[in-house]
Structure 1
Amino acid sequence: MCTFASCLKNMKHVFYILVVSCLLLSCSDFQKTLKSEDAAAKFNLGTELFDAGKYNKAFRLFEQILPKYRGKPQAEKLTFMHAKCSYELGDYYIASYHFDNFVDIYPNSEKAEEAAFLSAKGHYYNSPVYSKEQKETIEAIEKLQLFLNSYPNSQYLAEANSLVKELDFKLERKSFEIAKQYDLIRDYKASIKSFNNFLLEFPGTSLKEKALFYRFDAAYNLAILSIDSLKEQRIKDALGYYNNLITAYPNTEFLVDSERMREELQQELNTLTTKS
C-alpha cells in the first residue's frame, strides 16, 4: 500500500525528472539553433531568451544574425536587444558603443531615449574609484549632461541627475584628497594652493568646512615653521584663513583645534612685534 510519504517522494522524483528533461531539451534546442543557418529561428529563440533574462545565450544568437537583418523591419528591435545584452552582461564599453549606434540609426525610435540613457549610464559604471585617474568620470558626466540636454523631460531625469551628482562628488573628493595629502606630507604651500583651487572649483561642496580647516592647518604649520623674516606675513595669512573658517562655520567641528592654533599664532605675532 502506498503511504502519503512514499507518494510524495515519488512525486518529487517525477518532478525532478521533468525539470531536468526540460533543461536538457532547452539546452539541446539552443545548441541546435545556434549551429543552424536559420536566421529567423535564431531571432525568435534569441528574443525568448532575452525576455527570460538569459542575456548570454541571447547575445550569442544575436551576434550571428545582426548583419543579416540590416535594413529589415526587425533590425531596430534586434539592434536594441543586442546592445541591451552587452549592458546586462556588464560589458559597458561595448554596450555604450552599440547604444550610441542605435540612437544614430534610429533617432525616432520609441527606444531611442532609453538607449541614450543606458549608453550614458554605461559610462557611469566605467567610472573608477575616486583615488584613481578620473578620465572616465569626466566622460560619464559629459555623456549624462548630453543626455539631459537632449531629453530635458525624460522619465530618467531624476536618476540621471542623481548619477551626475554622485560623479561630481567623486571629482570633489579626488581634488580634496590631493590637497589634504600635501598637508600630510608637509608640503604646506602646495596644500594651501590646492585647497584654494578646490574651493574655487567647487564652491558648493559638502567638504567646504573640512577644506577651510585643513587650509588653515596648512597655513598654521607653514607660519610656525617659517624663519622670522617670513613668519609675520605668514601668520597674518593663517589668521585670515582662520577667520574664513569661523565666519562660515562659527560652531565648526574643528573649533577646539582652531582656537588653540589661533592663540598660538597670535602669541607668535605678539612676540615678533615686541622684538621689532
Structure 2
Amino acid sequence: MTYASNDVRPSPPRAAPRLLLRMSAACALALTAGACSGLDSLNPMNLFGGDKYKTEVVKDTPADQLYDQGLARLKSKNYDGAAKTFANLDKQYPYSQWQRKGLLMTTFAQYQNGSYDDAAGSAKRYIGLYPNAPDVDYAYYLQAMSYYNQIPDVSRDQERAAKAADLFQQILDKFPKSEYAEDARYKLQVARDQLAGKEMMVGRYYLNQRNFIAAVGRFREVLAKYQTTRHAEEALMRLTEAYLALGLPQEAQTAAAVLGHNYPDSVWYKDAYALLKTGGLEPNEDKGSWISKAFHLG
C-alpha cells in the first residue's frame, strides 16, 4: 500500500516561534475574542493552504487488474499506455512474479511502440534481474531486435549492428533450442553482412587513396570476422589488387587462388585472374600465407 503523506508532520520552520509570538501579542491588544480566531489559520503549517494536513491511504490497484488493463491497451494498440500500465506492476509489486511479468510486458509494449532504446533498456534490466527465467531468451530477442530495427545504412556508424549481432549470437550460444534461434541465425547473418559492408566501404576508400596498407587491414578484417558474408569474395579480389600495388605478388597470387578455390564462378575471381594476367602472373596459393590459413585450404 502507498500513502498520500507521512504520519509524522515535518518540523515547522525556525522562524515560526517569532511569528507565533507576534500573532499572540496582536490578539492580546485586540478587545474582542474574535480577533484571535484567525490564529490557527496562520499556523506556519497552513501558510500555503487552508486545509488540515491529514493522512490518506491510497489503495494500490490489484495486480491482476493492472495486468488485464495493460493487455486491453495492447489489444487496442495503445502501446504507450500499455507500457506505462505494465510499468506500474513493476513499481507496485517488487520482488514478485507480477514484477517479472510487468517488466517483460513493458519491454514488449515499448518495442511495439517503436520506442526501441527504451525497449532495449528494459530488456537489459530484465536479463539482469531474471537471468534464469524461462522466458529470458525472449528478452534477449527483444533487445536484439530493438537494435536490429535501428541499423542504419552502411555509410553510417554501425554500433547498433554490432550490438544486434552480439545479442543474436548470444541467443544461439545460450539458447540453441529456443524458438527464436532460427530467426536469430538469419538476422545475425544480416547484421554481420552490414558490418562487413562497412569495412569494405572504408577499405575501398583507402584503396582509392592509394593507402594500400590501410586498405589491406580493412579487407583482412572482413576475412577474419565476416568470412561467411557475401563481401568475402570482393575482399579477396581487393587484396589481390592491393598486394600487387604493394609489390607483394605472392600474396596477391594467394588471394586470387583462394578466391578461385572457394568461389570459382564469382565475377570477382574473373577480375582477380585478369588483373594477375596483366602482370604475367597466375593464381598460386602459398599455404603459409595468412589468407590460406584463414580459409583452411588443404
User: Structures share a fold, TM > 0.5?
Assistant: yes
TM-fit CA distance, 1:117: 1.9
Within 2, Cα distance between the matches of 1:240 and 1:75? Answer: 59
Residues 100-147 of structure 1: CA distance to partner in whole angstroms, max 9, x if unpaired?
A: 333444456554332232122223224333322223322222222223
TM-fit CA distance, 1:246: 4.9
Equivalent residue in structure 1 for 2:76, among 42, 47, 52: 52
1:204 is paired with a residue of what secondary structure?
A: coil
The one-letter amino acid paired with 1:163 is K
TM-fit CA distance, 1:157: 0.9
Root mean square deviation, CA, Å: 3.4
Within 2, Cα distance between the matches of 1:50 and 1:77? Answer: 14
Equivalent residue in structure 2 for 1:144, among 164, 168, 174: 168
1:212–1:241 contact (8 Å) kept in structure 2 = yes
Q: Partner of 1:96 in structure 2?
A: 120
Residues 52-84 of structure 1: CA distance to partner in whole angstroms, max 9, x if unpaired?
A: 332123234445564223346643333322221
Aligned residues: 222
Q: Which has the larger radius of gyration?
A: 2
Please list, as runs of the form range in 1=range in 2, the aligned pairs for 1:14-53 lying within 5 A after superposition. Answer: 39-40=61-62, 44-53=68-77
- Does residue 266 of structure 1 match 2:266? no
Within 1, Cα distance between the matches of 2:257 and 2:96? Answer: 70
More helix by share: 1
With normalisation by structure 2, the TM-score equals 0.60
1:239–1:265 contact (8 Å) kept in structure 2 = no
Equivalent residue in structure 2 for 1:129, among 144, 147, 153: 153
The one-letter amino acid paired with 1:121 is M
The worse-fitting range, judged by mean Cα deviation, of 241-250 and 162-171 is: 241-250
Within 2, Cα distance between the matches of 1:237 and 1:79? Answer: 54
1:123–1:143 contact (8 Å) kept in structure 2 = no
Equivalent residue in structure 2 for 1:163, among 183, 187, 200: 187
Within 2, Cα distance between the matches of 1:219 and 1:108? Answer: 50
The one-letter amino acid paired with 1:147 is I
- Does residue 154 of structure 1 match 2:168? no
Equivalent residue in structure 2 for 1:176, among 200, 206, 210: 200
1:124–1:137 contact (8 Å) kept in structure 2 = yes
TM-fit CA distance, 1:173: 1.1
Within 2, Cα distance between the matches of 1:255 and 1:70? Answer: 61
The one-letter amino acid paired with 1:58 is A
Please list, as runs of the form range in 1=range in 2, the aligned pairs for 1:243-262 lying within 5 A after superposition. Answer: 245-246=259-260, 249=263, 252-254=266-268, 258=272, 261-262=275-276
Within 1, Cα distance between the matches of 2:131 and 2:253? Answer: 58
1:70 is paired with a residue of what secondary structure?
A: coil
TM-fit CA distance, 1:179: 1.3
1:81 is paired with a residue of what secondary structure?
A: helix
